[in-house]
């Protein structure tokens, strides 16, 4: 059963400069489904629209970001909720933090610098459950922190007094205190050292196991995806180009871009210099015609320059947007 | 830690500023070509009084003594500080022998009242409006405010004061033209007198408030529009906190820290503005006192007001700077 279904979502940033409107087509016709209880990964180079996709899907839309078309439907307890159709900002607020929660990119600075950690916990709990009983609140937070291996003493600290890894753990604790149904994690391990990274991945796994929630994990670090995710989507220039079970992506990738990404990964024992993906990701203001990957694709044909390939089913739960696959089918 | 790293350096800075400022007040008049003692003597003889040379000499001695111009430069400088420490700024010459300190004391409450009320009003209103502008960027109020603030900001204090004076005291005589209270009003703590005070203070205060709101508004807008982009505000949104809480506890609370620094930085400028506004409205404060002292060439009074202003403004800035760490935990605990 799917908990989230995204259909043909288009989210652009519109900025005006000297009377000319520029559109950054950060998310351009994306469709996917996330099943209940799974960990769904989204990978792609920097600037391909991963964070924008998360923002759009969780209804965090404010100028210059706008939704042009598409549908984002959640299924909470068999009730369908179309978050983009919610007219009132207030209704969206009621969902965020409780049903949907977000571990944002740049988690180093997600804690209000002038508020003690405890206040941040109070803010989020109070926003959704109205704290009536202090001791009850303390107990709730304490159990949660203990479960995550965090010490109660951090509650009295200000963010700047804590290390980066600690702040990241606290952000995760905050994002999960209300046991959300679905968690969006945007690069939760970037900017942390490898040891702390592993700890954070462990923590996320553990929460997922305890709270039985669904997790959408965004990172450009394929090793983390391999370690954590059930299914993986590869994004390129605002579109999903391939989606499949993690094993399939790593063992039988179909899209030339996925191949290129995987080639740039180091493997143990191999000392040769890895080929980094040649070329640069395209500007999302002036996107290439046809398949967006064609200027960098070793196998591009005339057709790729003119027509845009659809994301089509090529195997059990395996979707690819490439004419090569269409031909071979 | 805070004490050593923040308070002590700030205090040393304060003392240095005072020392330099007060020394400059000593040096600058002595660089001027006109000698106040000769000026005074000339004025007396010009009035047609006949004085015999011995009496003139004696007079010169006394005047030099009173002006602190006796002895060598260094001796004068030492004496200058000595007199300052006992709070003696010498006598005024236009209102001889009233001490300068006495005159300042009489004028001070007027200036203080004007300054504090206008500063509070403009700071609070400007800061709030700036926060509203950023929280509701598309509201009509926000857009009007922005245009107004941009247009008002370059207007000098005296122009604003004159415009208000002409419109509301001359063309439409709703408010009095000048003074701190009506001629012949009975001074006392009663409603009638207080209302009278208020009526006289209204235009001077308004002319300052209207100008300063714009400045505070624009500064708050700039700072807060950066705060809105901060990860912690985005996160608060993503966690579904109520909008009002985000505005006050996340956006405004963080943006207000630079507003406090701005208060300290702009205090000197605002003080100057208050003095000019007083002159336009003939308000009985320090500004008007200074103006008449300059017109009458009351040397001691001019110097006294200068010294007093330096001490007053730097002390206020020091106090604001000492409050600042209470608002920013990053300074408090470093
Ligand atoms: N506020 C904004 N205004 C205009 N353009 C923006 C804005 N935010 C992001 N963009 C553009 O949208 C595109 C997608 O950005 P996004 O942050 O979604 O990328 P990302 O995949 O998350 O990258 P990263 O891995 O670096 O986080 C980029 O080209 C970026 O320049
Ligand atoms: Mg991102």
pLDDT in tens, A11-28: 999 988 888 888 999 999
Output the residue whose Cα is nearest ligand 1's atom 18.
Answer: A49
Provide DSSP, A181-225: SEEEEESTTTTS-HHHHHHHHHHHHHHHHHHT-EEEEE-S-HHHH
For residue A190, pLDDT over 90 is answered with no
Tokens standing for residue A266: 């180091």
Distance from Cα A105 to the centre of ligand 2, integer Å: 6
Q: Give the range with max mean pLDDT: A242-251, A320-329, B146-155.
A: A242-251
Phi/psi for A76 (5° steps) reads -105, 120
A168 in Cβ contact with A107 (< 8 Å): yes
Give A190-197 contacts, CB < 8 A, sequence gap 24+.
A190/A105, A190/A219, A190/A220, A190/A221, A191/A106, A191/A108, A191/A164, A192/A164, A192/A165, A192/A168, A193/A165, A196/A164, A196/A165, A196/A168, A197/A224
Q: Which ligand is nearest to the CA of A49?
A: 1
pLDDT band at A329 (very low <50, low <70, confident <90, very high): very low
Which residue's C-alpha comes closest to atom 26 of ligand 1?
A46
> Ligand 1 centroid to A16 CA: how many Å?
16
B225 touches A at CB < 8 Å:
no
Strands, DSSP E only, in A187-322?
214-218, 231-236, 239-245, 312-315, 318-320
Tell me the pLDDT tens digit for each residue of B141-179: 888 988 998 888 889 999 998 999 999 988 888 888 878
Whether B136 contacts chain A with CB within 8 A: no
What confidence tens digit (pLDDT) does each residue in A109-161 have? Answer: 889 999 999 999 999 999 998 888 889 899 999 999 988 888 899 999 999 99
The reply to whether the predicted model has a pTM over 0.80 is yes
Q: Does B231 touch chain A (CB under 8 A)?
A: yes
The CA dihedral of B321, B323, B327, B330, to the nearest 10 degrees, is 50
- Residues within 8 A of B (CB atoms), A 216-245 only: none
Q: Which residue has better confidence, A270 or B111?
A: B111
Per-block average pLDDT, block size 10, for chain B (334 residues)? Answer: 78 94 90 77 73 80 80 87 88 84 92 93 94 87 88 89 90 82 73 85 93 93 92 90 93 93 89 93 93 87 92 92 85 60
Whether cis (ω within 30° of 0) applies to the bond prior to A50 is no
CA distance readout (Å), A62 to B47, B77, B250: 77, 64, 17
Nearest CA of chain A to the CA of B254: how many Å?
7
Tally Cβ neighbours within 10 Å of residue A135.
Answer: 7
Check residue B42 and give its pLDDT.
78
Asked if the model's pLDDT at residue A277 lies above 70, the reply is no
What integer pLDDT is reported at residue A283 of this predicted model? Answer: 83
The answer to whether B327 and B256 have CB atoms below 8 angstroms apart is yes
- For residue A98, pLDDT over 60 is answered with yes
Distances in whole angstroms, Cα of residue B97 to Cα of each of A302, B67, B100: 101, 13, 9
C-alpha closest to that of A177 among A147, A198, A155, A215: A147
Separation of alpha carbons B330 and A121, rounded Å:
20
Residue B261 phi, psi (nearest 5): -60, -40
A60 touches B at CB < 8 Å: yes
Please count the other Cβ atoms lying within 10 Å of the Cβ belonging to residue B16. Answer: 11
- List residues bridging with A310 in a β-sheet: none
What is the whole-number distance in angstroms between the Cα of residue B245 and the centre of ligand 1? 28
A127 contact residues in B (CB cutoff 8 A): 239-242, 245
Note whether B172 contacts A: Cβ–Cβ < 8 A: no
Coil, helix or strand at residue A283: coil
* Residue A59 pLDDT exceeds 70: yes
**Contact between chains at A112 and B254 (C-beta distance less than 8 A):** yes
Measured in angstroms, the CA of B255 and the nearest CA of chain A are apart by 11
Nearest CA to ligand 1 atom 17: A51
Residue B252, min C-alpha distance to chain A (Å): 11
CA distance A326 to A320: 9
**CA atoms of B60 and B77, how far apart (whole Å):** 19
| Beta bridge mates, A34 | A4
A264-286 average pLDDT score: 70
What was the pLDDT predicted at A328?
53
Mean pLDDT (chain A) is: 88
Interface mutation target, options A54, A62, A93, A119, chain B, most CBs of B under 10 Å: A93
Q: Report d(CA B322, CA B325) in Å as an integer.
A: 7
B232, B234, B249 member nearest A111 (Cβ): B232
> Residue A48, SS3?
coil
Chain A touched by B238 (CB under 8 Å): yes
Interface of B with A in 271-330 (CB under 8 A): 327-330
Closest CA to A41 of A251, A226, A314, A203: A226
The predicted pLDDT at position B40 comes to 75
Residue scoring higher pLDDT (B189 or A200)? A200
Percent of chain A topping pLDDT 70: 94
**A219 C-alpha to ligand 2 centroid (Å):** 8
Q: What is the spatial distance between Cα A65 and Cα B39, in angstroms, rounded to a whole number?
A: 72
pLDDT per residue as tens digits for the range A75-96:
998 889 888 888 777 888 888 8
Give kind and range of the element (H or E) at residue B53: helix B53-67
Residue B187 DSSP label: P
């Amino acid at each position: 059963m799917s908990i989230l279904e995204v259909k043909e979502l288009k989210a652009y940033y519109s900025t005006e400069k000297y009377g000319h409107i520029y559109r950054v087509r950060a998310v351009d016709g994306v469709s996917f489904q996330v099943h209940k209880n799974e960990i769904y990964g989204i990978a792609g180079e920097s600037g391909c629209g991963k964070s924008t996709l998360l923002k759009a899907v969780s209804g965090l839309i404010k100028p210059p970001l706008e939704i042009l078309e598409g549908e984002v439907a959640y299924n909470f307890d068999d009730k369908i909720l179309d978050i983009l159709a919610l007219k009132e900002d207030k209704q969206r607020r009621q969902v965020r933090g409780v049903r949907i929660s977000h571990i944002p990119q740049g988690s180093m600075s997600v804690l209000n610098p002038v508020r003690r950690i405890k206040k941040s916990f109070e803010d989020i709990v109070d926003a959704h459950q109205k704290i009536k009983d202090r001791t009850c609140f303390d107990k709730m937070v304490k159990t949660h922190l203990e479960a995550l291996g965090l010490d109660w003493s951090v509650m009295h600290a200000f963010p700047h007094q804590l290390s980066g890894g600690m702040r990241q753990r606290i952000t995760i604790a905050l994002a999960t205190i209300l046991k959300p149904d679905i968690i969006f994690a945007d690069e939760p391990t970037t900017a942390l050292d490898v040891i702390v990274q592993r700890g954070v991945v462990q923590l996320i796994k553990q929460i997922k196991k305890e709270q039985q929630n669904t997790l959408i994990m965004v990172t450009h670090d394929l090793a983390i995806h391999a370690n954590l995710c059930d299914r993986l989507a590869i994004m390129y220039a605002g579109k999903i180009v391939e989606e499949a079970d993690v094993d399939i992506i790593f063992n039988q990738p179909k899209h030339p871009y996925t191949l290129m990404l995987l080639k740039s990964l180091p493997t143990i024992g191999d000392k040769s210099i890895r080929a980094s993906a040649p070329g640069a990701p395209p500007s999302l203001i002036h996107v290439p015609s046809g398949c967006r990957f064609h200027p960098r694709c070793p196998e591009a044909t005339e057709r790729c320059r003119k027509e845009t390939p659809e994301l089509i089913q090529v195997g059990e739960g395996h979707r690819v947007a490439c004419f090569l696959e269409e031909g071979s089918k | 830690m805070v004490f050593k790293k923040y308070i002590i350096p700030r205090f040393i800075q304060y003392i240095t500023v005072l020392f330099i400022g007060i020394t400059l007040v000593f040096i600058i008049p002595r660089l001027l070509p006109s000698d106040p003692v000769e000026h005074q003597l000339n004025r007396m003889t010009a009035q047609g009084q006949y004085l015999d040379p011995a009496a003139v000499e004696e007079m010169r001695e006394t005047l030099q003594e009173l002006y602190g111009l006796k002895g060598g430069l260094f001796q004068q400088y030492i004496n200058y500080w000595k007199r300052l420490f006992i709070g003696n700024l010498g006598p005024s010459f236009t209102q001889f022998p009233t001490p300068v300190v006495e005159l300042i004391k009489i004028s001070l409450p007027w200036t203080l009242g004007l300054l504090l009320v206008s500063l509070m009003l403009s700071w609070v209103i400007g800061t709030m409006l700036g926060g509203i502008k950023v929280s509701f960027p598309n509201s009509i109020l926000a857009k009007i405010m922005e245009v107004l603030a941009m247009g008002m900001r370059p207007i000098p204090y005296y122009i604003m004061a004159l415009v208000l004076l002409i419109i509301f005291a001359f063309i439409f005589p709703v408010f009095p033209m000048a003074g701190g209270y009506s001629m012949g009003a009975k001074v006392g703590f009663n409603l009638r007198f207080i209302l009278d005070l208020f009526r006289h203070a209204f235009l001077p205060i308004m002319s300052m408030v209207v100008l300063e709101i714009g400045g505070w508004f624009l500064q708050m807008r700039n700072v807060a529009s950066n705060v809105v982009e901060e990860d912690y505000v985005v996160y608060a949104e993503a966690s579904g906190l109520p909008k009002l809480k985000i505005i006050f506890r996340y956006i405004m609370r963080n943006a207000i820290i630079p507003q406090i620094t701005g208060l300290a930085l702009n205090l000197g400028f605002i003080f100057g503005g208050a003095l000019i506004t007083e002159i336009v409205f003939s308000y009985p404060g320090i500004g008007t006192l200074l103006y008449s002292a300059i017109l009458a060439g009351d040397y001691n009074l001019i110097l006294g007001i200068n010294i007093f202003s330096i001490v007053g403004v730097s002390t206020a800035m020091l106090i604001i700077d000492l409050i600042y760490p209470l608002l920013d935990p990053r300074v408090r605990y470093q």
